[in-house]
Amino acid sequence: MKVIVCVDDSEFTEFMIQQLLNRRWHDDTQFKILTVLEPISMSPDPRMTEFLTLKREREAKKKLAAWRNLLSRVIPRSLVHIDIRQGSPVEEILKAAVEWQPEKIIMGAHNKGICPRFNLGSVSGSVVKQAFCTVEVLRDTEKAALSK
């Protein structure tokens, strides 16, 4: 089984990784931990934009490598890949899915919308609607309960 795990720099990602670790997986499961860095457009200085982009990439590589090591250690017969992309999260997640052909995409819902109770989120909602494979959207139910 091939699974894309979409992560970002939010605190919710730690919860999501923990949820993965608590599940039973087939021995031959392959994971691709994917993060998409949206372009930085706030700086008029191209050198500053390049510096910030490289810094974000380095930080993302460190986090993804740590999660890869953790998944590999806890799920020892799995193969864990990491993938860092630049661009629109929805487009890059869907592109990765077409290229890698997973059976499932796992991602989180942050509930940042106007009405969190009914809003999947723009990224997760768009991926659910457009992906050719199963998409599982995880929520931190404790935090969701607190925001009601």
Is 127 or 39 the better-scoring residue by pLDDT? 127
The lowest-confidence range among 8-22, 65-79, 83-97, 109-123 is: 109-123
Asked whether the predicted pLDDT for residue 124 surpasses 50, the reply is yes
pTM of the model: 0.86
Q: Which residues contact 1 (CB under 8 A, 6 or more apart)?
A: 25, 26, 28, 29, 30, 103, 104
Asked whether the predicted pLDDT for residue 118 surpasses 90, the reply is no
Per-residue pLDDT of 82-98, as tens digits, reads 999 999 999 999 999 99
Which band of pLDDT confidence, cut at 50, 70 and 90, is reported for residue 122?
confident
- Residue 109 contacts residue 78 (beta carbons within 8 Å): no
Asked whether the predicted pLDDT for residue 106 surpasses 80, the reply is yes
Q: What is the pLDDT of residue 148?
A: 46
Q: Which amino acid is at 128?
A: V
Residues 133-146: what's their mean pLDDT? 73
C-alpha–C-alpha distance, residues 64 and 31, integer Å: 12
CATH for 2-146 is 3.40.50.620
Give me the chain's average pLDDT, please.
87
